[in-house]
Amino acid sequence: MTPAEFEFLSGFIRARSGISLADDKIYLFQSRLVPVLSRHQFSDIAALVRSLRLSTSGPLADDVVDAMTTNETLFFRDRLPFDHFANRLLPGLLARPGRSGAIRIWSAAASTGQEAYSLAMLCAEARGALGGTRVEILGTDLSPAALARAESGRYTQFEVQRGLPIGMLAKYFTKDGDDWVISPTIRAMVKFRSFNLLDSFSPLGRFDLIFCRNVLIYFDIDVKRMIFAKLAEALPDDGALVLGSAETVIGITDQFTLHPELRGIYIKTRASQSGRR
């Protein structure tokens, strides 16, 4: 790959997804574009780039973006945020004064759905505490391939053995051939939809709680700051945002502050207290 081709591809990926790939990531392009080359019958990356330069939208462009997303995820990833959700965040939402209607939770980089379904299973476990309260979980992602898998609710034996306690597997999945399929009750609690975090959040409505984990790490600070601002707008005052274990708001935004007790949880700063830009 020539430096010019790399410049073009990384600029294209950044514009379309926010994902920032420094030039030490040339190997990522080289390995991940292999299937795209064969699907679109290009002999090499140079030919792909020539075609992409002519048109930066359409199926080729979409496939290139999809190929450059990292969809790695697992059930109950890092465990702790999910313990916080079950023990503190969900009970907190239920106890909120003046609460009415469904509780809306957003899995903002849902990938293949494990995060959204983990939350749904915890809500099913909390049925008693929920009483009649409905929970709506929305999972969104940029990658159509990942979303299609999330929609199917179908996981391999390997995937259900990463993070998912066996009791949960027995309770909420059925076996189909070599795969495991999430139960209709859990499936019905979650909706998936294609969504780019670079776009306006307003079509999605507002949320009581947002999980935005392990996606901001791929973005530059400016993109992070812009997304934090939109996340804040989508939450009520004191609303909670859950980030990945390697992510933080420190030094990036004052629209969220650390939760006083719970690690990895960030609280929207009240409008009156934040220096709004």
Partner 1 sequence: MKSCLVVDDSGVIRKVARRILEELNFSVEEAADGQQALDRCRIKKPDAILLDWNMPVVDGLEFLVALRKEPDGHVPIVVFCSTENDLDHITRAIAAGANEYIMKPFDREIIEAKFREVGLIA
Ligand X SMILES: C[S@@+](CC[C@H](N)C(=O)[O-])C[C@H]1O[C@@H](n2cnc3c(N)ncnc32)[C@H](O)[C@@H]1O
Q: Give the binding site for partner 1 (CB under 8 A).
A: 157-158, 161-163, 165-167, 169-170, 173-175
DSSP 218: G
Q: Which is nearer to partner 1, 109 or 164 (CB)?
A: 164
Q: Which is nearer to ligand X, 212 or 269 (CB)?
A: 212
Q: Which stretch binds ligand X (CB under 6 A): 11-19, 23-31, 126-134, 230-238?
A: 11-19
Rounded distance between C-alpha atoms, residue 257 and residue 265, angstroms: 9
First to last CA, the chain: 41
Q: Which is nearer to ligand X, 4 or 144 (CB)?
A: 144
Q: Which is nearer to partner 1, 95 or 166 (CB)?
A: 166
Confirm if 110 and 150 have CB atoms less than 8 A apart: yes
Q: Which is nearer to ligand X, 71 or 274 (CB)?
A: 71
Q: Which does 174 bind (CB under 5 to 8 A by kind): partner 1, ligand X, none?
A: partner 1
Show Cβ contacts of residue 230 under 8 Å, excluding neighbours closer than 6 positions: 197, 200, 201
Does residue 119 touch ligand X according to CB under 6 A?
no
Output the smallest distance, CB 9 to partner 1, in A. 32
Q: How many residues does the chain have?
A: 277
Q: Which stretch binds ligand X (CB under 6 A): 45-53, 125-133, 193-201, 233-241?
A: 193-201
Does residue 73 touch ligand X according to CB under 6 A?
yes
Q: Which does 255 bind (CB under 5 to 8 A by kind): ligand X, partner 1, none?
A: none
Q: Which does 208 bind (CB under 5 to 8 A by kind): ligand X, partner 1, none?
A: none
Q: Which does 56 bind (CB under 5 to 8 A by kind): ligand X, partner 1, none?
A: none
Distances (CA, A) of 244 to 36, 38, 174, 262, 263: 29, 34, 29, 13, 10
Phi, psi angle pair for 104, to nearest 5°: -110, 125
Helix (H) or strand (E) run with residue 32 in it: helix 26-32
Q: Which is nearer to ligand X, 47 or 221 (CB)?
A: 221
**Binding footprint of ligand X, residue count (CB under 6 A):** 23
Distances (CA, A) of 113 to 52, 107, 251: 30, 9, 30
* Site mask for ligand X (CB under 6 A), range 236-275, x = bound: --------x-------------------------------
- Residues 92-111 touching ligand X, rule: CB under 6 A, are 109, 111
Alpha helices in 98-201 (DSSP H): 114-125, 127-130, 144-152, 166-172, 184-189
Strands 154-155 and 179-182, sheet pairing:
antiparallel
| Degrees, nearest 5: CA angle 58-62-63 | 120
Does residue 213 touch ligand X according to CB under 6 A?
yes
Q: Where along the sequence are the contacts to ligand X (CB under 6 A)? A: 17-19, 69-73, 77, 109, 111, 115, 141-143, 146, 196-198, 213-215, 244
